[in-house]
Structure 1
Amino acid sequence: MKANTEQLNLRASSQTNSGSEKFQTANLARCIYTLVMVLVFYHFQLPWIVVIGSVHLVFSVIWFLLIHFDILVEKDVWWSGYVPATFDLIWLTVLAYGTGHITSFFILGYLGSIALSSMSLDRNYGVYNAFLATVLFSAMGFFVYYDVIPLVNILMPPVKPTLLSIFISSLLLGGSAFIVNQIVSKLFSSLTDVNEKLLAIAMTDPLTGISNRRSFFSNLEIEMARQHRSTSTYPIAFLLFDLDLFKSINDTYGHEIGDLVLIEFANVLKTSLRKQDFPARWGGEEFLVLLPNTDLDGAIVTAEKIRSTFHSLKIPIKGKELRCSTSVGISILKDQTTNPESVINLADEFLYEAKRKGRNQVYSEKNL
């Protein structure tokens, strides 16, 4: 009956790291590759490319620091994807220009950038990337063709592109970019749907449809974090229910009826609790309910409501009406100085006392 305290601690420690961590690797990689390319073009004495690269490098470092120190959380700001994407595509266009333009291997970088920017459901800016990449690539070609900027290729003797080659390569890049965006978006959406379904299966009790023990721990972490941040008292109540004489019900009426009783009790929990309350099947015929920001008096009222509602149910079976009852143990996690495992164990001890004193009742420290 003990909560997995080690699991709680691991999750709580991981929660201290913000969601921005998933972006830090990409931001660090942006800084490193920009620095390398700036040094390469410095070696070939192309100062204006070095200046553009240095601006991109400064931006990349600042952006990385903003994310690293949680000054900016990328996933929470709608424009955060567009800003680095714009800087990256401009720099990528300059790299393509300096390495052969329409023959440059950096063209593949456009498609990679678009693919990465398409891997999001709530912030998909792949279409923007595809459009901007095509415009920048075409503009660079026309600038070279009309001698607005000098012809450069650090890899081999430069060849001036023709208008037809600029048109065809831009058309191919734009078409490929939009195709990549559509394919990656759909694949990512399908993968996300599958992951959500698997997560729901992993976090839900298949019989009753309410959360399981693993899901309970996840929600407890959230409430403990709120309790830690709260400037006022924020008690967390635990209600541990055990269906009375459940083994006898299974033996007398069969497991199918026993499952029906469990489902009916879960339905009582769903209809009796507040939106912020969290019920879970704890195991067998036991259910554990978490009541955020609820003191002992409030927890007793809720427990009595659930107990009386369940006891008043009449479950029809084989021409008869089955009436069941439940015993309840209540404990309160008052602050972070108490181990949640010991508080849940205390609810278990009170549940045992409720059963020992006749079942179908609520027991807490007020009964001592």
Structure 2
Amino acid sequence: MSNVLPSVPADISFQQAIELTQSLVSCLEQGTASDAEAARTIAALVQTVDGARGFFVGYLTDDRSLADHPSTAVVQALRTSPEVVSDLLVKNLAMSTAMAIAHRRNENLEMAAGSDRVRSRSAHLMMQLQLPEIEQKAQQLRAATESADGEYLDFLNRWKYDAEQREAIREAIDGEYFDDGAAAAVSAGNGAVWGDRLGREGPVWRTDSGDRAAESFWGSIFAPIQQWFDQHPWLEWLLQHPLWLVGLLLLGIFLFAGLIQAIGRLTENIWLTLLLLPFRLAMVLFGGIVWIGRLLLGGKRSSEGRSIAAAMPETTPEHRLQALLDRLDAIRLEEEALLKEVKEILAAKEGK
């Protein structure tokens, strides 16, 4: 039997892992891939977190019954990466259990049946794997459902599970779904598998008909978002610390509002300058005309003054002295006349 499955890249993305898993399930169902080829492919997928997330999304939500009865090759391949596989399976069990409750509250029985199917498949795989890591992580999750502490407390708080949902998770961990009939209890319907955020810790749903086009459509939407979160882990930290997130959002809004105001003031000043520019140019032009007029009129008046000055007799100290002497002679003659008149008046009085 020839190898019909492509090799798994070392840096496989979440979306690529989903598509590869879907091809793997199809090949296994059609008998075109051997158990050995399937084991090699699955083992390569679960060596990375993105590959393991994509595998569980494609495998546990598949509409076909192949995932209800995992083969020995599948189980052995999953055991090659116990840490990653154990963490995702425990979260799948918890979140599908909680989502089944949420769907029934919303009277969405079809989606609830899908969540039940993922829960049953996850429980059956956990039972078959029998990994110590699964037991350890399951007990850590159980402890977090009962107290305000534990390894998985942030996981529970992030999804805001209430008391009823936490109780159901605790019952699932205690073994309610870990019986020999777990695989037979898988029911038909939609399914949801959870990994971390947007695939790791978020749902990836499939339609009843397993429509590949719709699945690819939603995958193309969420894959870039998932990759962006992977490239910016600080965003996940912000989502886990809402007070910091709110504070940064308020600061961003404040800074953005200040930027808008500054841009508004700058725009207002520019428009005012443009509107006043014609008036200022007119004032400058008018002032230039007035200055030129004054300059021309001032030159004419200066010429007239020089002409008048030229027509007037020249005044020197000698001319001034002569004028004063003439004035003194006139005063002297007038004084003599006045004295003569006084004498005549006095003589007339003495003769009487």
**Range class of TM-score, shorter chain:** under 0.3
TM-score by length of 2: 0.26
More helix as a share of residues: 2
More strand as a share of residues: 1
Instruction: Name the larger-Rg structure.
Output: 2
TM-score by length of 1: 0.25
